[in-house]
Amino acid sequence: MKVSALYIFIVSILIFGSAKTNAEPDFSITKLNNPSPGYLIFHDYDTEYFSVVDNYGYRVFPNESIKDASGLKPINNEYWIFYNRDVYYIYNFKFEFLDSIVNPTTLSIDFHDMLILKNGRILMMLRDQLTIDMSEIVPGGQKDATVLSNVLVETDKTGQIYWQWNAIDHMNITDATSKIDLTKKYIDLTHINSMDVDESGNILISSRHYDQIIKINRQTGNIIWKMGGSESKGNQFTFVNDTVDGFFGFSHQHTAMFLGNGNILLYDNGNLREPQYSRAVEYSVDEVKRTVTKVWEYRYSPDIFQPSMGSAYRLPNGNTLINWGKDKITEVRYDKSIALELDFGNRLNYRTYKVLYNTDVAYQNISGIGDYDFSNQNYNTGIRLSISKISGSGQAHFQRHKYAPHTGTYSDSIFSQVFPVRWVFGNLGIDSISGQIRIKASSVTGMNNPKLAKIYKRDKEAEGVFVPLITYYDPVKNEIVADFVGVGEFVVASFELKTPALLSPISGSGAFTNVELENQKVVGAELYQIQLDTNINFVYPLFDKFSESNINKFEALTENTKYFWRVRAMNQNDTTAWSNAFWFLTNVTAPQLISPENEKISVKKSDSLIWKKIPGLLKYQVQVAVKNDFVDVAYDTINTSNSMLIPYYLEPDKLYYWRVRAIRESDASIWSEVFSFKTAMNPPFLTYPKDNAINVLTSFTFAWTPSKGASSYSMEISETGDFEKITSNYYDINQTKWYVSDLMFDKKYFWRIRAVRTTDSSDWSSVGQFSTVKVVSLETPELILPLSESRSISIEAYFEWEEIEGADYYHFILSEDDKFSQIIHEDPNIAEPNVNCCKLDYGKNYYWHVAAFNDSASSLWTPIATFLTELESPELTYPINGSTDIPMKPRLVWELSNTVSNYQVQISLDENFENTVLDRSGLEQLFLDCELNSLTKYFVRIRNYNDTNESRWSNISSFTTSNTVSVSETQFQAVAISITNYPNPFSGSTTFTYSNIEAGLATLKLFDIYGNQIATIFSDYVEVGTHKNEWHSGNLNSGVYYYQLLFGNNIKYGHLIIIN
């Protein structure tokens, strides 16, 4: 998996991308004159991209994915090698993975260089960090100096070390140049920056900080010789023809390499030479006489000096590729003329190579007329030359690039495309040449019809105008043939027309009945044929049009119809195949609104919105809004039929606007005309008698809710639910209740109400039903407990009334309102004249009445009695009941009670409160400071009251005082806050009531039953006193939750129940 992922990464680095025709180049090619074939490969340090650059100055692969690839190195146009952490990876030149070799040591890899040896092993360059007592080596040296040296290791994938050479064991520390300060704490000593191997397998290294190149015997590890310039302390050679102003040789060099002739080529940075300049230099070495002779050098004019980085390599054709380390890359011939120069700005570059990657290059020595094939076992350019005339002789080459020229103009533009391939023909020593160029059709990427191909040429790569050559196709040899004169750049263009692509309207879209069809322009096309039909087979097309334009209009098409269209291009030489057919649907007519008619009033919720159906459509979008601009939409839905009920939640007696549009897949019609309507009044809601009520008196007042907009009401009472037997009709009722006195005993009735105004009326209300009492012959009971208008009644109320002679059972009703529309308890069959019905709420008004019954008779209902329940009693929280050692000046604290105005506190020496020592009323706070005697037992009770009601006394608490005067504040802080919520359980919202005896920050948090915090209900600074905070539960689920009130160091807990 590691290898696969790495392979994907590297392939993503060096796969060629498409040519960026006419785009700005990535680098500036300032000189171009028949350079060596191949691509420049270098690491652009400023952008951190590893670049493969052609002679146009373009990166020829997507460089966005290239990061930190400085270690990538080509080996003899055969291998790629690089390292990642402690592993070297080897690929062939097609980037097929060959091997990975792990660093077998604990030392780190040095990025400067790496080699693949002839035996297939890797020669690694490692970095060794040593601690050396330099005080014993040089005056002023550090006792524990960190010294960086190098180690060379020969190994393979087995991890076996076959040969190892440690520089520190063979190179004298004091031989470093004078510019290397050996007294520092940190010393970069040997700084080996290149390696090479001669034919005997001996190693040539370049030690920058020794100003030396060193030849090492790979068998023994011994140094064969050391060569360096004037500042080299260990130089063993005499330099010939290489002394300038008293300085001989080189300094702080890079890339020392053996050449095929045995000479050595290196890049001389020239750091320690005066004047300073950098150069590429070639030496002839006599190892016996120990002389080194400069045979060639190249200095830029004016001089360039680059103190770090740089490289020089001899190319196969004899040119030298010089990377100056900054600003420029120059390819020069042996005569020092420049073949190529690239300017990459004020940026650094460690090394530059020229490689034949992802390209085909073949050489031929041409000395006379004849046929020359530029293909071999490794490279297939697809080119053959038949030379008919030549002046001079020399080596010629063709390079096949797998992309079209980035830039260029053509003397004609009647072709349809230039194929993504180009050839560059160059030579050395040939003055003039002409003949036939023959290009294998199979070597032209993407070409289908070579009969419609033509060769174009310009005399220099990346410059000039491409001119068409007289071209023909040889079907026997499958070659495209043309006459040519001279070297240059060749491309193949096609006169085969491309089948046009359809652009607009896109297939499957909607279009108007007047439609504009657009297809892609085809280069070289003279005419387009456009067919339009409702049948995809185009047997008898409705339209068959020829046009010089790629945009054509068709008008008066049929609405809501599916059309197919296709196009082909043509000229005198070629007619393309038909394009793929696209289809579109013509636009849909906006629906016509039918009902309710425009400006209709009294539209009921039982009515429907209706519009004209459009054949073939499945959906309609309907909108209802409160304004005709439809900014505030009250209803927006998709409907599959052409009608729908009026939305039930529209407000009664309100003006609305509505519109409809048709929808067909992703297409839609324009909106219909806007209609308005006014909703009818809502029918009233029946409130009394309660539905299915029994034992209703024969004379009573009916009641219902008001309807918005109503000026009066109509009422019907019937003996049947279908109102076929109406017993009473009442009209023009101008209130929401109506007294009826003529009902019959022991009879079931049905009733309904509707709202009425001048212009219209509402629907009838839902039908209510009730049964009247039997014959009244029993006496009406007298209510005993609780008496009407009584107050402070226990919430566990006991109800009692007079027992009636002859009565078998009683009908009891308790309600929250005097119309008995909010009944909380009803029992029609109570045997005894009393009942304990239910637990009531604190501080609330209730209404009740009773009637007596037997099997044949009944009494009248008693007059309605009302009563008010007691207030909730407070609870003393400090002192705790039974506590002792309470100071003589305690603060009594109690819990808050709901709906409280005032508190009364009594303190007594006995639990019957016959010996009261304190009776304080009119208290509004939740505490009372008092002064008591020492070592005395006291009893306390509290009640609360307001103008109309009061609570019972609280439970009696006792405590005993000490002889301490007062309590510290922290002793009662824990009870200095209180909180409750009401209602509880609740649906929707509840109100928290909390009290504090000091000002400060109060925070209320909510938790689920698992202890997870759900919300912070509030967090705010509050003053002393009692506070209320209404809280809405939102979308919380039903269940039990816990809350926590934080106030300073005080914490108070409670729980609440949500019912949805």
Query: What tens digit of pLDDT does each residue of 448-471 get?
Result: 899 999 999 999 999 999 999 999
Residue range(s) occupied by CATH 2.60.40.1930 in the chain? 977-1058
Q: Please tell us whether the domain made up of 686-772 is placed in CATH 2.40.110.10.
A: no
Q: Enter the pTM of the model.
A: 0.56
* Residue 954 neighbours by CB under 8 Å, 6+ apart: 873, 874, 875, 876, 894, 941, 942, 943
pLDDT digits (tens, 9 = 90+) for 63-98: 443 344 447 888 888 888 888 778 888 888 777 888
Lowest mean pLDDT across 121-135, 195-209, 642-656: 642-656
Q: For 57-139, where are the E strands, in sequence order?
A: 73-75, 79-84, 87-92, 97-102, 108-116, 122-132
Strand partners of residue 355: 39
Label residue 998 by pLDDT band (50, 70, 90). confident
* Residue 738 neighbours by CB under 8 Å, 6+ apart: 701, 702, 713, 715, 730
Residue range(s) occupied by CATH 2.60.220 in the chain? 360-494
- Nearest-10 Cα torsion for 736, 740, 743, 746: 60
Q: Is the pLDDT of residue 907 over 80?
A: yes
**C-alpha dihedral sign at 478, 482, 485, 486:** negative
Label residue 867 by pLDDT band (50, 70, 90). very high
> Strand, helix or coil at 490?
strand
Q: Please tell us whether the domain made up of 783-869 is placed in CATH 2.60.40.10.
A: yes
d(CA 894, CA 875): 5
Lowest mean pLDDT across 155-169, 384-398, 604-618, 960-974: 960-974
d(CA 491, CA 453): 10
Residue range(s) occupied by CATH 2.60.40.10 in the chain? 502-586, 593-679, 686-772, 783-869, 876-973
Length of the chain: 1060
| Mean pLDDT score of the chain | 89
Please report where in the chains the tokens 């087995």 appear, as a residue.
Answer: 158
Query: What CATH number does the domain located at 502-586 have?
Result: 2.60.40.10
Please report where in the chains the tokens 């607009």 appear, as a residue.
Answer: 504
pLDDT digits (tens, 9 = 90+) for 498-521: 899 999 999 988 777 889 999 999
Superfamily of domain 876-973: Immunoglobulins (2.60.40.10)
Q: How large is the average pLDDT for residues 239-256? A: 96
Helix (H), strand (E) at residue 1032 = strand 1025-1032
- Cα 183 to Cα 140, 189, 264, 355, 392: the distances in Å are 6, 12, 34, 44, 64
Whether the upstream peptide bond of residue 781 has omega within 30° of 0, thus cis, is: no
Q: Please tell us whether the domain made up of 593-679 is placed in CATH 3.40.140.10.
A: no
Residue 554's φ and ψ, nearest 5 degrees, are: -130, 130
Residue 235 has what pLDDT? 97
- Cα 800 to Cα 168, 405, 848, 969: the distances in Å are 116, 110, 11, 52
Label residue 969 by pLDDT band (50, 70, 90). very low
Query: What CATH number does the domain located at 360-494 have?
Result: 2.60.220
Q: Is the pLDDT of residue 45 over 70?
A: no
- Does residue 562 or residue 665 have the better pLDDT? 562
Its CATH class, for the domain covering 977-1058, is mainly beta
Q: Is the pLDDT of residue 413 over 60?
A: yes
- Cα 386 to Cα 369, 370, 389: the distances in Å are 7, 6, 9
Q: How large is the average pLDDT for residues 859-888? A: 90
